[in-house]
Chains A and B, each alone.
Chain A
Amino acid sequence: DAGVTQSPTHLIKTRGQQVTLRCSPKSGHDTVSWYQQALGQGPQFIFQYYEEEERQRGNFPDRFSGHQFPNYSSELNVNALLLGDSALYLCASSLRTGGTDTQYFGPGTRLTVL
């Protein structure tokens, strides 16, 4: 049973560029959440997708956008990259049960903005 997978593992971009990160959820899961983890900090919630719609969004600018596909996989897009966007981006998947969903995390994508 494959867990949550993310690609790429590492990415280097320059300021002003755009980046797309990808996530495949754990088998049987229908919900994907994205988090940003800056160095030495706890992860911060970016947004959550369920039924191909953004269901909840954290305190991140519109430069951060996402998408969920019919097979439940997801993409995170960041436009106009800033140096401060350098971080580990974590994807988590869960099964929407109506109660407390347990989120399972992938290994992350390390983004470096130069």
Chain B
Amino acid sequence: AQSVTQLDSHVSVSEGTPVLLRCNYSSSYSPSLFWYVQHPNKGLQLLLKYTSAATLVKGINGFEAEFKKSETSFHLTKPSAHMSDAAEYFCVVSNPNSGYALNFGKGTSLLVTP
């Protein structure tokens, strides 16, 4: 079985400051990990994915995440927040050895203040 825990339900940053959204995972096998973003009343957009290649993954809109097996973490970062980054962010784990379902965390709501 696999699961993710998003350590913060809400994160607030000022525009232009760094963003850190934390995620820990649990998986019996080598996992595939994703970050998705959901803007209000919108569907989910893929930010980035890790599939056992490079441990530092670059995504869209300046986001990146680092896979750390020793810490079972996959934290999402961005050097400088923009007002348009305000949204709900989901850390997701899947594993082809146990099926193809995506297992979502509960989400982190990012607030960006001027």
Residue of A33, A43, A58 with highest tally of chain B CB at under 10 A: A43
Chain B contact residues: over half helix, strand or loop, or mixed?
strand
Contact B51 A105 (CB under 8 A): no
Residues of chain B at the chain A interface (Cβ within 8 Å): 32, 34, 36, 42-46, 49, 51, 90, 94, 96, 99-107
Count how many chain A residues have C-beta atoms less than 8 Å from C-beta atoms of the other chain: 27
Are B99's CB and A56's CB within 8 A?
yes
Q: Report Cα–Cα, A102/B34, bound state, in Å.
A: 9
A100-B32 in contact given A42-B104, A44-B104, A56-B99 (Cβ < 8 Å) = yes
Contact A105 B45 (CB under 8 A): yes
B100 touches A105 (CB 8 A): no
Q: Chain A 24-57, CB within 8 Å of chain B: the 1/0 string?
A: 0000000101010000011111001000000110
Cβ contact within 8 Å between B46 and A102: yes
CA distance in complex: A64, B112 (Å): 38
B102 contact set on A, CB distance < 8 A: 33, 35, 43, 45, 92, 103
Give the A-B pair count, Cβ closer than 8 A.
56
Are B105 and A100 touching (Cβ within 8 A)?
Answer: no
Q: How far is the CB of A78 from chain B (nearest CB, A)?
A: 19
Q: Is the CB of A45 within 8 A of B103?
A: yes
Residues A105 and B44 in contact in the complex (CB < 8 Å), given A99-B96, A100-B32, A100-B96: yes
Whether the pair A102, B49 counts as a contact (CB closer than 8 A) is yes
A-B contact pairs, 29 of them (CB 8 A): A4-B43, A31-B100, A33-B101, A41-B107, A42-B104, A42-B106, A43-B44, A44-B104, A45-B101, A45-B102, A45-B103, A48-B101, A56-B99, A56-B101, A58-B101, A90-B43, A90-B44, A92-B44, A98-B96, A99-B51, A100-B32, A100-B94, A100-B96, A101-B100, A102-B46, A103-B46, A105-B36, A105-B43, A105-B44
